[in-house]
Structure 1
Amino acid sequence: MSAPVDLAHAPAAPTRSTGAPDPQWLAELHDDVVATSGETRTVLAPATGEPLHELPLSTPDDVADAFARTRLAHLAWARAGFAHRRKVLLRAHDLIVARREQFIDLVRIETGKSRGQAFEEVYQAAAAARYNALAARSVLRSRRVHSGAPTVIDARVRYRPRGVAGVITPWNFPLSLAAMDVMPALAAGCGVVQKADEQAALNILELRRALVDAGLPGDLWAVVTGDGATIGEAVTDRADVIAFTGSTATGRRIAAKAAERLVPASLELGGKNPLIVLDDVDPERAARQAAYACYSSMGQLCVSPERIYVQRGVADAFTEALVRTIEGLVIDPSPRSTGDVGTLTSHAQLDRVRGHLDDALAKGATVLAGGVHRPDLGPYAFEPTLLADVSPDMACFAEETFGAIVAISVVDDDDEAVLAANAGDYGLNAVVLSGSVPRARRVAAALETGSVNINEGYRGSFSSIAAPMGGSKQSGLGRRNGPDGLKRYVESVTIAAANGPIAPPNSAREWRRLEQPMLLLLRAQRALRRR
């Protein structure tokens, strides 16, 4: 068990009445950014469009300094061992839970999410801390393996932390995505230099503060900010291993840079996720499941469905129920709201959504629900939108919208649904809604995606911290979470020792004498099915 967490020195929470950050707390948090330029960037609150705070900006020299200090801290952290790292991460778990209201507030004021969808992030961050604290030793401990010549060679595998991880995360799920990349790096014995997206840097800085309060050396996790083209590249140019979440276009550039330096990179990229509705569903229940999956966080989630394929036998009933469900969603981006959905996060997101909608309508698409900008509710508020008659010449047909627009199409059977779902360049997540889980599993097995959720949109796989998460095709390389998420931060080292009663051959005569016994050994291992 970890020691009790002392909350006496917890930083002040954002002001409860307005949702605005406490100025003193904000100044202290800004001090944790590695930034010496003196320049700042104004971050706007999605709920109001008004300035939220002035974020300090880093320079490439700041990034270099962060890596230097983190490398030094990493040496002691790697030597500290699993038990010490476990204790720190479990204390961090307890702090995240204890400070949940503060984190919920931060997620809401920086991203415009509803309370429930902000709580998802807190839950996920705590779960990531707990899993990696408890799993690291069993996944990464040194272990003996079968050697090619038993009794002659003893072979063991150990894992060495790669050094300093360069982590780049986006604004849309700032707390959970940071935790899912940073926690395993720390548990594996690495240091971290993280490039935080300016829109949601406060969440990352506050998560870092919780880790430091739990006993993490301050220099072990450095946070830098600034333009991706300069600061992000400065991070990837120095990192010993890269963890990136973002667009496919940027991911390709990072992959090319990593290949030049021969450093590993895990990349979770874009998606155009399908949702399949089989003809054995309860239409009302399926509509509620689909609406949450598609419009949680206003669709600004890489694993959210953007295209629905409903089988003809239930198409009318499901579509009618889905339209009613969407029209019943309460939109309220205010920090203290209890609405079902919040708002788009920025003017850029609003422009992208409106651009896809205008393009689709100009080319013949039909709005079944939503499709209206709601400045009366907030500057970036937009009604969750369902489109029919979407064709391949429309931008929203195959491009990721990343917000509030979903297209629905009718298919005849399971095979047509699978073919439609597998079409396209992406393969991140898929959803199958069915009254029969065995039937849904058969459909899921044919889908070309990194994860499939049955009768649930994304939370089943997203919350399964012990299971790998990632994409296929243009949706990325590598996996976060689970043993795979830990192993991306280590190098495997094989240590073999010749210490048996029989020495390996070192001359032609010794080879001739041992050739037949070695053939017998191969046949015996085959008969015993020894690996």
Structure 2
Amino acid sequence: MTPQRLKIGPLPAEFAAELRGLSANARIDRIDENADDNLIIEAPWTGETIGWVASGNEETVNEAFRRARRAQKSWRHVPVAERKKIFSRFHDSVLKNRELLADMVQLETGKSRNGAFDEVLDVANNTRYYINRVEKLMKPKKRRSAVPVLAKSYEYRQPLGVTGQIAPWNYPLTLGISDAIPSLLAGNGIVAKPDSSTPFTSLLVFKLLYEAGLPRDLVQLVTGSGRVVGTAISEQCDYLMFTGSTKTGKILGETMGRRLVGYSAELGGKNPLIIANDTDMDKTVRGAVEACFSNSGQLCVSIERIYVEQQSYEEFARRFAERTKAMTLGPGFDYETEMGSLASANQLKTVDEFVEDARDKGARIIAGGKARPDLGPYFYEPTVLTDVPDDARLLTEEVFGPVVYIQPVSDLQEAIRLANDTPYGLNSSVWAKPETAWKVGPQIDSGSVALNDGYVAPWSAIENASGGMKESGMAARHGDTGLLKYTAGKNVTEQRFMSMRGPESLSRKNYARIMSSAMRLGKLFKILP
């Protein structure tokens, strides 16, 4: 088995220097620059080739797990305080190398600079939170027994072993490593599959983690197709973290269920935004643009449908369309450009098909609505539609692009009903005076609800778990559960003084009478768990 090599194409020299020799953690048995199974990585802004990585197979994954399991046997015994030091250095390195990381994210995804920098901040935020929480979460905790005097009980947490991670292309930095951070801090190893179109970002950020002191073999990055590599990971891992489509999530869920292995998934969404009559319209228009068109609409929590109370509908639709038309669109490493490219030809085709289907069936386009090949091969204008008919795919299916429709509602109860009328439940947004927003928000069936914000506020509330309801996922990332899900709880209890069943001299009938009385007293005085 030889280390996977990277051939760097038209990347700037500083990127090539960072990436060469990077992927000794991804093993394959054959490498050939001209092989048909190589994965060619392109820059969406131009369609030019950045470079290539080899496509792994089942043997690759087997070797990755062998190496990770061997490394994890030692890592699990490294004191938590020592693990924290490594990730503290990594935290500082991420911020120090923020421009390089953002450059790589943009090259692979075509997103705007602001969107790329959001990923840098998210990785630092996750790292900081779990550094500060891991010792408390992993420390044995005293638990009460039914009869406290007779038992001394502690809950221990231990790592699961080697966890699997399958990451998407839309947030290759955030979702490439942020889910790995709590797993590694908890004492696990990882075998991870970056998306086939964005491997370099994962390779780069894990390089920073190795430089901070993480054992090299503990994380294995295996590039390749989801059908081959992703399936092989799901068949061997001790827990799986997946971010991607609901369709694929269900397939992986069947695998994990058959194996009786834990599974966490963030899946699709058709996320609603509700606007009340008492909203601050200036802030709402600006916030709705960010909620709908950040990352060119290519994020699971992006808003795709807007419900506006009738009295405010005309004003919002007019101002929102004007603000959307005024967005700056194009390639570039500057922070001023508001929206970048779609990620691929497939994404462009999907977005165009949704818009044309709605247009053909009678929807009205009030902003955008067309591709922009003059800017690059996969650019598409931020698009707003109204009067979308019931038979348009856009009404209920996830677009995953810069497309949103607006619909008037008679009141907030109708807005809530429409918001919940979907098989999805990932994110939602409410814009209103705080007292109104806090009444509406909890009534929406979604894993996160942003009040007077699109999605950033709940996502960055790192102490609060973030997941999906219905077909938008299961389990959650962030919060204490974002680390504890990568551990197994162990009940260690000592019996003291005498048996829980009482002394041998006590008749079973008297034991039953005494214990029944004790249970009643415990309930009355709340002295038992």
Residue of structure 1 in register with 2:76 after alignment: 78
User: What is the deviation of 1:321?
Assistant: 0.9
| Structure 2 partner of 1:29 | 22
Give runs of aligned pairs for residues 351-500 of structure 1, distance below 5 A.
351-434=349-432, 436-500=433-497
| Residue aligned with 2:515, SS | helix
- Identical positions, percent: 35
CA drift of 1:500 comes to 3.3
Residues 308-350 of structure 1 deviation map (CA, whole Å, 9 limit, x = unaligned): 0011111111111101110110002234463111110100100
TM-superposed deviation, 1:84: 1.2
Distance 1:337 1:376 in 2: 21
How many residues are treated as equivalent by the alignment?
516
Report 1:19-58 matches (<5 A): 22-38=15-31, 39-58=37-56
Q: Deviations over 1:135-178 (max 9, x none)?
A: 11212321111101111122211111110000001010111112
Q: How far apart, CA to CA, are the structure 1 residues paired with 2:272 and 2:359?
A: 21
Tell me the CA shift for residue 506 of structure 1. 7.6
CA distance in 2, matches of 1:386, 1:46: 23
Query: 2:337 is matched with which residue?
Result: 339
Residue number in structure 1 paired with 2:275: 277
Partner of 2:34: none
The alpha-carbon deviation at position 414 of structure 1 amounts to 1.1
Alignment of 1:69-218 (within 5 A): 69-218=67-216
SS at match of 2:492: strand
Q: Check the 8 A contact 1:128/1:183 in 2, yes or no.
A: yes
Q: Which piece of structure 1 moves more, 366-375 or 77-86?
A: 77-86
Q: Matched residues in 2 for 1:330 and 1:472: separation?
A: 34
Structure 2 match to 1:246: 244
SS in 1 for 2:76: helix
- Listed one character per residue, the Cα deviations across residues 328-384 of structure 1 (whole Å, up to 9, x for unaligned) are 100022344631111101001000000111111111111010011101111101100
Q: Deviations over 1:417-475 (max 9, x none)?
A: 100000011000000011x1121011011000000001111111111221111100000
Q: Deviations over 1:227-276 (max 9, x none)?
A: 11111000000000000000000000000000111001001100000000
Report the residue type matching 1:526 in the other structure: K
Aligned 8 A contact 2:26 2:64 in 1: no
Q: Which moved more, 1:148-157 or 1:364-373?
A: 148-157
TM-score of the aligned structures, taking structure 1 as reference length: 0.94
Deviation at 1:75, TM superposition (A): 1.2
Per-residue CA deviation, residues 82-131 of structure 1 (Å, 9 max, x unaligned), is: 11111111111111011111111111111111111111100000111111
C-alpha displacement of 1:528:
2.3
One-letter code of the match for 2:522?
Answer: Q
Counterpart for residue 319 of structure 1: 317
Instruction: Measure how far apart 1:201 and its partner are.
Output: 1.0
Tell me the secondary structure at the aligned position of residue 174 of structure 1: coil
**1:523 equivalenced with 2:520 (yes/no):** yes
Post-superposition Cα deviations, 1:470-513, rounded to whole Å, max 9, x if no partner, equal 10000011001111111110111111210135653486955334
CA contact (8 A) 1:295 1:304 kept: yes
Corresponding residue for 2:308? 310
3-state SS of 2:22 partner: helix
Change (3 A) 1:87 1:337: closer
What's the offset of the Cα at 1:300? 0.1
Runs of 4+ residues deviating >4 angstroms:
17-21, 506-510
Instruction: Return the letter of the residue paired with 2:463.
Output: A
- CA separation in 2, counterparts of 1:323 and 1:508? 84
| Aligned counterpart, 1:3 | none
Maintained 8 Å contact 1:184/1:485: yes
Q: CA RMSD in A?
A: 1.8
Q: 1:517 to 1:245 in 2, by over 3 A?
A: same
Go from structure 1 to structure 2 and tell me whether the alpha carbon gap of 1:397 and 1:202 turns closer, same or farther (over 3 Å shift): same
Partner AA of 2:279 in structure 1: V
Check whether the contact 1:58–1:225 (CA below 8 A) recurs between aligned residues: yes
Q: Which amino acid aligns with 1:241?
A: Y
- Alignment gaps of 5+ in structure 2: 1-7, 32-36
> What is the alpha-carbon distance in structure 1 between the residues aligned to residue 321 and residue 14 of structure 2?
37
What is the CA–CA distance in structure 1 between the aligned matches of 2:376 and 2:26, rounded to whole Å? 30
Does the CA-based 8 Å contact 2:177-2:206 persist in structure 1? no
Whole-Å separation in 2 of the counterparts to 1:299 and 1:20: 31
Q: Which moved more, 1:500-509 or 1:370-379?
A: 500-509
**Letter matched to residue 254 of structure 1:** L
2:501 alignment partner, one of 482, 500, 504: 504
In structure 1, what is the Cα distance between the partners aligned to 2:425 and 2:12? 37
- Cα deviation digits, residues 172-228 of structure 1 (max 9, x gap): 011111233100101111110001102211111111111111110011111001111
Structure 1 counterpart of 2:19, one-letter code: L
AA at the equivalent of 1:446: Q
Q: What is the CA distance between 1:399 and its match in structure 2?
A: 0.8
Q: Compared with structure 1, are the counterparts of its residues 303 and 98 closer, same or farther at alpha carbon in structure 2 (3 Å cutoff)?
A: same
With the length of structure 2 as denominator, give the TM-score of the two structures.
Answer: 0.94
Please list every run of 5 or more consecutive structure 1 residues that lacks an aligned counterpart in the other structure.
1-13
Please tell me whether the aligned partners of residues 184 and 486 of structure 1 are also in contact (alpha carbons under 8 angstroms). yes
Distance in 1, Cα, partners of 2:523 & 2:249: 44
